[in-house]
Copies of this chain bind each other. A is one copy, B any other.
Amino acid sequence: MNTLVRAAALAALASGLYAPPLPSPISLMPLPKEVTVGIGSLPITGAFAVAVSGPGAQDARVQKAVPRLVARMARQTGIPMPAVAPVSEKDAALEIVVAEMGHDGVQKLGDNERYSLTVADSHIKLAADTPLGVLRGMETLLQLVRQTPNAPGVAAGFSVPNVVIQDEPRFPWRGLSFDVSRHFMPVDVVKRELDGLAAVKLNVLHWHLSDDEGFRVESKKFPKLQELGSDGMFYTQDEVRDVLAYAADRGIRVVPEFDMPGHSSSFLAAYPELGSGPGPFPVVHNHEEEPSLAMDPTKESTYEFLDGFIEEMTALFPDEYFHVGGDEVSPKKWLGTPHIRAFMEEHKMANAAALQAYFSKRVLEIVTKHGKHMVGWDEILNRDLPKTAVIQSWRGQQSLWSAAKDGYQGILSAGYYLDLSYSSSYHYSIDPMKAPASPDGGPVGKGLPPGSPADLTADQAKLILGGEGATWEELASVEMIDARLWPRLAAIAERLWSPESDTDVASMYQRLQVTSEWLEWLGMNHRSNLVLMRQRLAGPYPRHPLDVLASLVEPTKGYSRHAQKYGIFSPLNRLSFAIPYESDTAREFRNGVDEYLADKRNGTELQKNLADWEQAARDVRPMLTNQSVLTENLPVADGVEKLCQVGAEALRYLSGPTKPPVDWKKTAKAKIDPFVGKRFGDLLIQIGPGVRKLVEAAPGS
């Protein structure tokens, strides 16, 4: 949000021009570039009518978006809105003006997404250069709809506050890398997530369609890919086209990824002749147990196959970018295979990286021949790679910047991995143009101090296209995929759309909460499905104490859960799968402790929290004892109980006149240390650090 405008809005607030009874009159995510909130609002009625004009009015995306907007508004308000015929601008509640017809054909990287939105008492005007801008503005409008606050002369119902918004994105490539290989995600799930992406103004679905565990698209040329390379779960080409049309309608590009030469067991299971050694090769169902296989880059037949395959897939997927993976190739198989070693010697390749460079170059030739730009992970980068390739970085900003200095376009995914159980504030802190902090706030390895700006020229900086949230589905199935993505992906979306200066974490969390709630109107089940999963765990026991316990823990971070060797057929039904990746309660407690230590005002509230949690930790015990899948979590209940007891003691000593006994602090620490920052199965008790802070601040030594 533009600072000047923000200041103006605050001044309006302070002047009492309007007295908002709500925590915030508007809650938008991502934040627009400029917002000015006015006085008054436009009531939403069942006769909400829309008029579209301008040269772009007949664009199919706009035409389809209008009834969708009305249906969503009806859903959000509970006000039936019978289909009405298009009306003239003056009679319309919403006037949409589209200055240009969208260019013919497929949405392109960098297409104009700018829009302006003005709400003034009895009229809403949404103006945009392009149909794409209209789509973005509609999402903002829907986020503005809220129940009308009571005021004299105002009718009960729903309304949109008067507001003037000018908006456009900071980066042109804002995506989600979505793994459907490890656990297949059916079409309805993909469409639901596309709704979510569009709602937070993301514009790329990077569809990770093949990996060791499964090949997920029907190939008509090479049908064994889906027949032998999947467990029967894949998208038919008709289904792919259906998804592509759905995405296009929402202004989302779809970039397919077929991972090669590594992460390609599913290719090799279907066509063993592609492999580096003699087959047959299995589809890998448990990645920890099988080394990642790789294609044989030395055989011409490999490239002939890929030529045919890429020809088919580039025809199916219209986007101008085509992702070929390229990550994590294990050199072992290559180096252990005589004919491959011979080939390397013959071509003076010093190591497996050089061989992969050769492979990348050959694949790039094929991708280019079929009219696409190639995208790949960091590993494809090498001195010989033509500048038309785009680098997606899981390694980090410096890898990206270094590529930009060499003239390569790049997108950032390091720091945006949603499967690693980090917080929204961590992901929000990750900026493609600044050195990152690690999840605990410190510097990353020997990298630049966190926050250091990219040392790039203006032209180099333009090569940084944006970023992608990423999620790998070894540990997520259909049941909890929404909870893995949402709401944290919205924080990444804001980072990539909104001005660089929008870094207020408290504001972000406030709006994320609202965003999380209204995403449910789009069908996201990130909260409701976890409730169902906990109900399954609770069985006939009242669920409440389990919900409380669940609200205090998080899954362990990074790759630590993978050590448990989950395969893709492992049940994902334990408690660690039935909780959000980020505990709001623990974060609020942490903040509450800091506030308490600053001003001592919220002590009663903290005491009540600790007492309630301690009670829940006791109440949950019969359930944990008797329900076999839950029993492993008894130590978590122990920990919560102990932490709450000690935390309550510390609060008493901090607030009252009573001094603790001489050894209290030492004893207290000894009591809680086994539970602070320690893992219990796949779980961390996240109120531990806050309690420890209270103990340390308490009198005594």
Q: Indicate which residue in B79, B80, B146 contacts A539 across the interface (CB closer than 8 Å).
A: B146
Does any Cβ of B come within 8 Å of A342's Cβ? no
Inter-subunit contact A628/B231 (CB<8 Å): no
Given contacts A23-B540, A539-B147, A540-B22, contact A628 B569 (CB under 8 A): no
Contact between chains at B571 and A78 (CB < 8 Å): yes
* Of A392-400, A513-521, A672-680, the one touching chain B: A513-521
Residues in B neighbouring A528, C-beta threshold 8 A: 528, 531
CB of A566 to closest CB in B, whole Å: 11
CB neighbors of B among A168-205 (8 A): none
A571 touches B77 (CB 8 A): yes
Assembled-state Cα–Cα distance A236/B148 (Å): 39
Most buried by B among A79, A149, A571, A573: A571
> When chains A and B are docked, how far (Å) is the Cα of A75 from the Cα of B478?
10
Closest chain B residue to A532 by CB distance?
B520
A701 CB-CB contact with B under 8 Å: no
Q: Are B155 and A628 in contact (CB under 8 A)?
A: yes
How many copies the complex holds: the figure is 2
Query: In the complex, what residue of chain B is closest to A632 when comparing beta carbons?
Result: B156
Which residue, A157, A232, A625, A629, has most C-beta atoms of chain B within 10 A?
Answer: A629
| A147→B536 contact, CB < 8 A | yes
What's the Cα separation between A592 and B501 when bound, in Å? 57
> Which of A21, A569, A628 gathers the greatest number of chain B CB atoms within 10 Å?
A628
In the complex, are the beta carbons of B156 and A629 less than 8 A apart? yes
State A533–B520 Cα separation when bound (angstroms).
Answer: 11
- Bound-complex Cα distance A78 to B530 (A): 12
Residue A572 at the chain B interface, CB threshold 8 Å = yes
A21-51 interface with B by 8 A CB criterion: 21-24, 27, 46
A10 within 8 A of B: no
* Cβ–Cβ < 8 Å partners of A22 in chain B: 539-540, 626
Residues of B within 8 A of A577 (CB): 78
CB distance from A624 to the nearest CB of B (A): 9
Chain B residue at minimum C-beta to C-beta distance from A571 = B79
Asked whether any CB of chain B lies closer than 8 Å to the CB of A631, the reply is yes
A532 to B528, CA, bound (A): 10
In the complex, are the beta carbons of A154 and B628 less than 8 A apart? yes
Q: How far is the CB of A549 from chain B (nearest CB, A)?
A: 17
**Contact assessment for A628 and B232 in the assembled complex, using a CB-CB cutoff below 8 Å:** no
Min CB distance, A173 to chain B, in Å? 33
Q: Are B571 and A540 in contact (CB under 8 A)?
A: no
CB < 8 Å neighbour of A76 from B514, B536, B630: B536
- Tell yes or no: A213 within 8 A of B by CB: no
Are the C-beta atoms of A24 and B540 separated by less than 8 Å?
A: yes
In the bound assembly, the distance between CA atoms of A554 and B156 in angstroms comes to: 22
Closest CB in chain B relative to A632 CB, distance in Å: 8
Q: In the complex the two chains form, is A628's CB within 8 Å of B149's CB?
A: yes
A604 sits at the interface (CB 8 A):
no
A46-B571, A571-B46, A571-B77 known; A627 vs B147 contact (CB < 8 Å): yes
- Chain A residues numbered 417-443 whose CB sits less than 8 Å from any CB in chain B: none
Q: Which residues of B contact A158 (CB under 8 A)?
A: 629
Q: Is A150 an interface residue (CB 8 A)?
A: yes
Evaluate contact between B82 and A573: CB separation under 8 angstroms: no
Tell me which residues across on chain B come within 8 A of A539, comparing CB atoms. Answer: 22, 146-147
Are B533 and A631 touching (Cβ within 8 A)?
no
29 A-B contact pairs sorted by A residue (CB < 8 Å): A21-B622, A21-B625, A22-B539, A22-B540, A22-B626, A23-B540, A27-B540, A46-B569, A76-B536, A77-B573, A78-B479, A78-B533, A78-B572, A78-B577, A80-B569, A82-B569, A146-B539, A146-B540, A147-B629, A149-B627, A149-B628, A150-B627, A154-B628, A156-B631, A157-B571, A157-B628, A158-B629, A514-B540, A520-B535
Extra A-B contacts (19), CB below 8 Å, given A21-B625, A78-B572: A22-B539, A22-B540, A77-B536, A77-B573, A78-B479, A78-B577, A79-B571, A79-B573, A80-B570, A83-B231, A83-B232, A146-B539, A146-B540, A147-B629, A148-B628, A148-B629, A149-B626, A149-B627, A157-B629
